[in-house]
Structure formats: structure tokens, C-alpha cells
Structure 1
């Protein structure tokens, strides 16, 4: 399993995980897993059905919210924000590298946190989201 990047006490992100990782994710204290990677994005990737089954066996809540790489929409952000309001944490969101999941978190928080605070939290977790600054500023101003 790739290393888990802790953004806040409530949400962390990581790159692709495997069904056999679910038990250790639960043992690490996570309650919910969110899959932001579309099925069949890569050949070696397990399906969302396989991931959901493994999460259930491990006692984890599982949600599938696929985001196409490089095509993060405002609707995706709203869906992610709404999902976060209804799940129990701590939450582990994943995609190929963790960047999409971190970007979703950043944009979903941009109405509550200043753009600089969002960028610092992402950077502390190992993600440079400076390319999102215009969108963060726009969402902050709304």
C-alpha cells in the first residue's frame, strides 16, 4: 500500500490501494474509504465492486465517486463535499496518486478555509495544488 497522507484529522488521501489493504486501513482507525478512481483506468487496478466487497469484509464504509483525471468539475466537488457531510471519519480517499482526492478536498473546503490555508494543508501532505489557486480563490469569494 502506498503511504497515507494525512490532510486533517478527518480526511487523508493515498494512491491506489488493493482489496487486501482494507483490513490494515481499518486497523489504522479509518471508518470510511472513498474511491475517486474510475474503473478500468489502468489494467492492474481492482474494480470498485472488488474494493467495496473487501471494505465491507473489513468493516469499512465504502463510497465510489469516480473522477476522470484532469477533468475535475464543480459538480464533482459538490458531490464530494456532500458525501463528506454524510460519512463517518476518519476518511481515506484514494485515486491513482492521491492528487485527485486531495484536489477534491481542497476545492470542497475552499468556502470554509482561505486559499492559502488549503494550499498549506495540501503541501504539508505532500501535494502541490498551486495550479488550483484561481479556482480556490473563486470558490472562496462565492
Structure 2
């Protein structure tokens, strides 16, 4: 995984796999936000598998699937989720770009 730190609150990466989650928890992430729709490409892990692993490691997991530019509703949902998370958040999608777009949309 190639994690790109945006600031102390948020970082992005490409696809997370269930076996990555333990290391993310050890690295200090409090939550994972997935901006990738399930079944976007063959072999992609389902968000539910990531969420199960996150829960096992005391992390919150939020799914806000985005195709293209984030909608106002998706940005609102992301902002609400960020307000409930204490600590650093890792956003992911295929490349990290949609996750970064969500974060920049809330003016951080």
C-alpha cells in the first residue's frame, strides 16, 4: 500500500485488503473510509470484508461509494462521518483520488 498523508487527520491510498487492516490499526488509524463501490472491478475485496476486519481491530469503517465527482449528499455523509471519528482516518478507493476529493470538499 502506498499511503499518502494529506495532513494529521487524513491520508489516502488505493485498494485496502482485509489482511492490511491489522497493520493500519497498528499504524494508528482510527477509521477507514471507503469511497469505492463494491464490484468496481473483478477480484476487488467487498467493503463488508474490510469492515469486519476493522471492527476486529477497534476501528470504525464507513462506506461512501463514489463514482466520478462526489455529490453534495456524499460530501455531507463524509463530513458527518468525520465528525464522529476520533483520530487519523485512512480513505481509500482504487487510486485514492476519490477519497482525497471527499476530504478536500469539506474544506479541511
Q: Shorter chain as normaliser: what TM range?
A: over 0.9
Alignment of 1:1-142 (within 5 A): 2-68=1-67, 70-109=68-107
Higher relative contact order (CA 8 A, sep 6+): 2
Residue 63 of structure 1, CA deviation:
1.0
- Rg comparison, structure with higher value: 1
Query: Number of aligned pairs?
Result: 108
Helix, strand or coil at the partner of 1:24? helix
Whether the 8 Å CA contact 2:14–2:94 is kept in 1: the answer is: yes
Structure 1 unaligned blocks of 5 or more: 114-142
Residue 58 of structure 1, CA deviation:
2.0
Whether the 8 Å CA contact 2:93–2:99 is kept in 1: the answer is: yes
Helix, strand or coil at the partner of 2:90? strand
**TM-score scaled by length of structure 1:** 0.72
Distance in structure 2 (CA, Å) of the matches to 1:12 and 1:71: 18
